[in-house]
């Protein structure tokens, strides 16, 4: 096939060429279409979305889904199943944000469903679950993130290992496949601690019964007496039994950080190459002092002084991520993933030392010029930063 014929197969290519030729024949300087590209980009990738809580859906005793619509009731920007928005909140004067994956189908453009599970001691999850009401207005980033199915490279045999609220992006991927009538096979291995922790339980079970290309395998690690389903922790033997031969499968992993790390180790044992695993980042590590390179003379409860150049200083615990400490003391830093990947929250380390955990995907240029990702950086001495 010639290059010209191949280009004609691209949706919209022929129409774009015809429009370009018509403008050239008219002698146009293209003034009449100036700004259209910029406007289209803003609509598809807005920096901020003005949202309103249209409905609050009770999922489990510890989980709710916030159904958010645009304040102007217009369709929301498109997203890839598995992506997230960064939800901005002001809690008692503290401006902060948290990323939440859309759990709704990408085909549903009139609302985003964000499923929120209560985190122990969680500052934002507690606020969203206990204080946010229907009709309340919130703001978020536009959709973002690389944790989604890529049909060109990921293939048709998909396995999603979900722990707890990690089922949110899994549900979005599943609904996308089923509602579009796609040919992909989707196997969801869903692990929870207790039977009443299972989010979307009835819907997932009904969809598994109705669709031959969706398999649901549930596992409860702390089952009640008399429970007849699969129990215990996910291990190599059980995973091999559920999956069969792993060759050719694409694996998505989303859950608490220990769950993610365990799943990666199990898949390694089964011979799954890392290029066939997609792992969703899940915030700063709770125990950075357990990672290699942590200075052994520094305790998590030690206090350090953090100075924002030209703007003031405050005290903070070593074990508190730098971004959280900055926000708590009134310093806002642009952020999105809060997991060390997107680099939006980077700040300049002027003096002092910080620990950059394995979650910090620093670029070589960041290391060379002293930039750190504040969402996953931990001050291990008095430091000065430039925002």
Q: Is it the case that residue 116 has pLDDT exceeding 80?
A: yes
Domain shared by 294 and 248, yes or no: no
Say how far apart CA 14 and CA 176 lie, in whole Å: 29
Residue 269 lies inside a defined structural domain of this protein: yes
Exposure class string for 297-328: b at 16+ Cβ within 10 A, else e = ebeeeeebebbbeeeeeeebebbbbbbbbbbb
Structure confidence at residue 41 (pLDDT): 45
Domain shared by 272 and 302, yes or no: no
Structure confidence at residue 28 (pLDDT): 65
Domain shared by 333 and 233, yes or no: no
Q: Residues 260-276: pLDDT tens digits?
A: 999 999 999 999 999 99
To 10 degrees, what angle do helices 167-180 and 201-210 make? 30
Structure confidence at residue 4 (pLDDT): 55
Q: Is it the case that residue 290 has pLDDT exceeding 80?
A: yes
Structure confidence at residue 286 (pLDDT): 86
Say how far apart CA 306 and CA 349 lie, in whole Å: 11
Q: Is it the case that residue 355 has pLDDT exceeding 90?
A: yes
Q: Is it the case that residue 238 has pLDDT exceeding 80?
A: yes
The number of folded domains in the chain is 3
Domain shared by 382 and 318, yes or no: yes
CATH at residue 255: 3.40.50.80
Domain shared by 367 and 309, yes or no: yes
Please state whether beta strands 378-379 and 354-355 pair in parallel, antiparallel, or not at all (unpaired): antiparallel
- Res. 36 pLDDT band, cuts 50 70 90: low
Domain shared by 202 and 225, yes or no: yes
Residue 197 lies inside a defined structural domain of this protein: yes
Residue 11 lies inside a defined structural domain of this protein: no
- Percent of the chain predicted with pLDDT > 90: 75
Among 73, 105, 136, residue at a domain's last position: 136
Domain shared by 275 and 293, yes or no: no
Q: Tell me how many degrees the CA angle 350-353-356 measures, rounded to the nearest 5.
A: 105
Q: Which domain holds residue 116?
A: 46-136
CATH at residue 351: 3.10.20.30
Q: Is it the case that residue 31 has pLDDT exceeding 80?
A: no
Q: Residues 85-97: pLDDT tens digits?
A: 999 999 999 999 9
More confident residue, 7 or 25: 25
Helices vs strands, H then E, count in the chain: 10, 18
Burial class (CB in 10 A: 0-12, 13-18, 19+), 90: exposed
Say how far apart CA 19 and CA 335 lie, in whole Å: 40
Mean pLDDT of the chain: 90
Q: Is it the case that residue 38 has pLDDT exceeding 70?
A: no
- Res. 46 pLDDT band, cuts 50 70 90: confident
Residue 32 lies inside a defined structural domain of this protein: no
More confident residue, 15 or 292: 292
Burial class (CB in 10 A: 0-12, 13-18, 19+), 153: exposed
Residue 274 lies inside a defined structural domain of this protein: yes
Domain shared by 184 and 263, yes or no: yes
Residue 192 belongs to what H/E stretch? strand 185-192
Domain shared by 217 and 324, yes or no: no
Q: Residues 219-235: pLDDT tens digits?
A: 999 999 989 999 999 99
In the sheet that 250-254 helps form, which strands lie side by side, from edge to edge?
A: 214-220, 185-192, 157-163, 250-254, 277-279
Q: Is it the case that residue 216 has pLDDT exceeding 70?
A: yes
Residue 350 lies inside a defined structural domain of this protein: yes
In the chain, alpha helices (H): 3-8, 13-25, 36-44, 123-130, 167-180, 201-210, 236-243, 257-269, 322-328, 364-369
Residue 18 lies inside a defined structural domain of this protein: no
Structure confidence at residue 9 (pLDDT): 65
Sign for the pseudo-dihedral over CA of 318, 319, 321, 324: negative
Exposure class string for 30-56: b at 16+ Cβ within 10 A, else e = eeeeeeeeeeeeeeeeeeebebbbeeb
What are the beta bridge partners of residue 188? 160, 216
Domain shared by 179 and 203, yes or no: yes
Among 256, 279, 302, residue at a domain's last position: 279
Say how far apart CA 91 and CA 123 lie, in whole Å: 9
Residue 234 lies inside a defined structural domain of this protein: yes
CATH at residue 98: 2.40.30.10
- Percent of the chain predicted with pLDDT > 70: 92
Among 86, 102, 136, residue at a domain's last position: 136
Mean pLDDT, range 155-163, rounded to an integer? 95
Domain shared by 245 and 325, yes or no: no
Q: Is it the case that residue 362 has pLDDT exceeding 90?
A: yes
Instruction: Provide the 3-class DSSP secondary structure of residue 27.
Output: coil
């Amino acid at each position: 096939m010639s290059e010209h014929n191949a280009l004609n197969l691209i949706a919209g290519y022929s129409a774009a060429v015809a429009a370009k030729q018509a403008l050239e024949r008219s002698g146009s300087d293209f003034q009449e279409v100036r700004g259209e590209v910029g406007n289209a980009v803003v609509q598809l990738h807005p920096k901020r979305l003005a949202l309103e809580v249209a409905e609050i859906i009770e999922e489990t005793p510890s989980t709710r889904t916030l159904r958010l619509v645009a304040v102007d009731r217009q369709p929301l920007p498109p997203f890839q199943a598995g992506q997230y928005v960064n939800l901005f909140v002001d809690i008692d004067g503290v401006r902060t944000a948290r990323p939440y994956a859309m759990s709704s189908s990408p085909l549903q453009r009139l609302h985003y469903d964000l499923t929120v599970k209560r985190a122990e001691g969680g500052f934002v999850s507690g606020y969203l679950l206990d204080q946010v009401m229907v009709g309340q207005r919130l703001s978020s980033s536009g959709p973002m993130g690389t944790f989604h199915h890529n049909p060109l490279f990921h293939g048709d045999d998909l396995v999603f290992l979900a722990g707890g609220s990690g089922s949110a992006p899994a549900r979005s991927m599943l609904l996308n496949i089923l509602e579009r009538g796609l040919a992909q096979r989707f196997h969801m291995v869903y692990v929870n601690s207790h039977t009443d922790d299972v989010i979307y339980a009835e819907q997932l079970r009904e969809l598994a019964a109705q669709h031959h290309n969706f398999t649901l395998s549930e596992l409860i690690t702390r089952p009640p007496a008399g429970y007849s389903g699969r129990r215990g922790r996910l291990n190599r033997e059980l995973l091999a039994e559920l999956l069969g031969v792993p060759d050719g499968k694409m694996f998505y992993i989303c859950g608490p950080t220990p769950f993610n790390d365990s799943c990666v180790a199990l898949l390694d044992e089964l011979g799954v190459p890392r290029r066939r695993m997609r792992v969703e980042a899940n915030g700063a590590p709770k125990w950075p002092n357990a990672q290699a390179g942590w200075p052994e003379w520094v305790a998590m409860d030690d206090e350090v002084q953090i100075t924002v150049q030209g703007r003031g200083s405050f005290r903070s615990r070593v074990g508190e991520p730098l971004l959280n400490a900055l926000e708590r003391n009134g310093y806002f830093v642009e952020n999105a993933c809060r997991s060390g990947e997107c680099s939006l929250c980077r700040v300049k380390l002027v003096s002092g030392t910080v620990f950059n955990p394995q979650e910090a995907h620093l670029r070589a240029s960041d290391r060379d010029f002293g930039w750190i990702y504040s969402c996953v950086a931990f001050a291990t001495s008095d430091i000065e930063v430039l925002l």
